[in-house]
Amino acid sequence: MRRRDVLGLVAGIPFLAKPALGLAASAPLRRRVRPTDAAWPSPVEWDRLRRYVGGALIQPEPLLTPCDGDPGSADCRDLLGGLQNPFFIGDQPSGTQVSGYLDAWTPAVSAWAVPARSAADVAAAVAFARRHNLRLVVKGGAHSYLGTSNAPDSLMIWTRPMRQVKLHDGFAPKGAPDGTEAVPAVSAGAGAMWIDLYDAVTTRAGRYVQGGGCTTVGVAGHVQSGGFGSFSKGFGTSSSNLLEAEVVTADGIIRTVNAHQNPDLFWALKGGGGGSLGVITRVTFRTHELPANFGYAGVRIKASSDDAFGRLVSRFLKFYAEGLLNPHWGEQAAIQPDNVLKISMVSQGLDAARSTEVWRPFIAWVASDRAAFSTLSGPEIGVEPARGWWDVEGMRRARSRSMHYDERPGGPPAHGWWSGDQDQVSAYLHGYDSIWLSADLLAPPARDRLAEALVAASRHFAVQLHFNKGLAGAPAEVIADARDTAMSPDALDAFALAIVATGGLPPFMSLVGMKPDLAFAHRNAAAVAASAAALRAVAPEAGSYLSESSYFNADWRRAYWGDNYPRLRRVKAKFDPDGLFIVHHGVGSEDWSPDGFERVT
């Protein structure tokens, strides 16, 4: 669509003719319209939008439509097979990467969707939604555990088609002062996934971009959540590496935002939550010199008794504080109900000898008491050239089992996802919670109390410590950059994010006779809650990571953003005074009913 067509659409809407940021309408919007309302757009009006977006307007079907009437049909079998492939799910307008959350949300198809191919398409859809008072949702990678990328009776802006990736030898943000140093960077459309950037930046160009650990996460949603990855202690978050974004705001204007233009909105987009402040259409990140090596370290250790398990957990925390709390190490350890400590970590910038030496004291301590501890697997410690870490085509040729591959005809050969992420694909969440654990808890005697709390929590459900989600131990400049984002300050002082979560059979498995056990699911949810409560005994004021958290967190404003929330509210009032962009537990959502249709304040 031509630019003048967009401007014509915007100009045809009285309150969009001139951007009047910060000025709310004289009569605040009270209720959005549904398809059953007389004010719902007519077929002629929908056709007008279709013309403005060059035909890119669809009426999505429910995801399980091929199974209607005949679950045994070939089409239904193909669909159920595809739902084990996160790339297939992301390519469906009604697809969500998890299949719902117990007592919280289930996937809901939008009434209409714009598969946006450009910022102009997005601007047209935003203008149309505002003019007709529609519930609007934004979907990119559809990885929202809280279900924020789908809503019934809505108009969806679907950014999946915008997948362009462009490398820059030198990039300076628009509006930057003369003399600003241009730095290596990468730009990507909002529909790109991290594997698209890793392939372009690392595999092909030999540099590093800080992104997510899951290859199919969308770049736009990730940066708006804060954006942790495996090596965040070394390179920060995706939001702290953001140089510039293109975003369509509620007035239908396409804006370029960075530290020099609309800096308040730029700050808010860096961790303020997706779907609340506008529609990101393009992002640009700085890239870094690629370390020579990425590496891994894994071991599973079983304790012979509860007392021995407490000693094992305490010793590991001591070892972590002394040997691993630094920019080189990331990923996780799990404290399990069966008295097993499972360690699965990655490294950057270390050679094989140094990695082995780092782990030697802890492995020796475990081996010194064979009556108390037995090694179930490992230790495996190694490194490999960093440039091959996301070389999906190379791993495919080598038939590596570390990845699953998108084998669909015509699929990009660089598309694959880590085997360890397979259990998340189409998962149905029973319970989920996360807690930032301050580095202060690693100092004695707090460390012993933390170990006791972790063991107590694991009696209810396993606890995962994600060490890369938490910036304690990172270089000062990495922490300073992250402090200039909207993310909760708790993350800056945390050595790890504790996650307690579980799920089960997706509801659609009932189509093949595997009906989910809801009683079991509710017991799981209660166990997750009890485990998280045991951890909060030593971290009572700790917040949560908004993209990996409980749907039912009543204290979400403080938990997700801490003292940053009032500032986020001011940005929201300036750029979206009527609340066009509303998601569950997003900025300003307290003004609306849970479904986003009724204003309550």
Q: Is residue 192 part of a domain?
A: no
User: Are residues 298 and 156 both part of a single domain?
Assistant: no
- Average pLDDT score, the chain: 94
Q: Is residue 373 part of a domain?
A: yes
Closest CA to 225 of 596, 586, 591: 586
Q: At 34, which CATH number? A: 3.30.43.10
Residues 24-71: tens digit of each pLDDT? 344 567 899 999 999 999 999 999 999 999 999 999 999 999 999 899
Give how far Cα 74 sits from Cα of 71, 77, 397, 411, 512, Å: 9, 5, 30, 21, 13
Q: Is residue 207 part of a domain?
A: no
Q: Domain residues for 108?
A: 3-161
H/E/C letters for each residue in 60-95?
CCCCCHHHCCCCCCHHHHHHHHHCCCHHHHHCCCCC
Closest CA to 496 of 481, 474, 524: 474
Report whether 53 contacts 124 (CB < 8 A).
yes
Per-residue pLDDT, 601: 79
Could you say which of 138, 161, 184 is where a domain stops? 161
Q: Is residue 11 part of a domain?
A: yes
Helix boundaries (H) for 194-287: 194-198, 219-225, 232-235, 263-269
Q: How many CB atoms lie within 10 A of CB 264?
A: 14
Residues 463-507: tens digit of each pLDDT? 999 999 999 999 999 999 999 999 999 999 999 999 999 999 999
Q: Is residue 573 part of a domain?
A: no
Check residue 461 and report its DSSP letter.
Answer: S
Phi-psi region of 596 (alpha: psi -120 to 50; beta: other; left: phi over 0): left
Of the chain, the percentage scoring pLDDT greater than 90 comes to 94
Residues 245-269: tens digit of each pLDDT? 999 999 999 999 999 999 999 999 9
Tokens of 282: 């393009």
Hey, what amino acid is at 77? R
Q: Is residue 270 part of a domain?
A: no
Backbone angles phi, psi at 259, to 5 degrees: -70, -15
User: Are residues 348 and 494 both part of a single domain?
Assistant: yes
Residues 305-327: tens digit of each pLDDT? 999 999 999 999 999 999 999 99
Q: Is residue 41 part of a domain?
A: yes
Class of residue 598 by CB neighbours under 10 A (exposed 0-12, middle 13-18, buried 19+) = exposed
Examine the pLDDT at 517 and tell me if it is beyond 70: yes
Work out how many domains the chain is built from and give that number: 2
Give the pairing type, strands 288-289 and 254-257.
unpaired
Could you say which of 144, 161, 178 is where a domain stops? 161
Phi-psi region of 164 (alpha: psi -120 to 50; beta: other; left: phi over 0): beta
Q: Is the peptide bond before 41 cis (omega within 30 degrees of 0)?
A: no
Q: Is residue 278 part of a domain?
A: no
Instruction: Give CA–CA dist 39/295, Å, rounded.
Output: 58
Could you say which of 161, 187, 208 is where a domain stops? 161
Q: At 545, which CATH number? A: 3.40.462.20
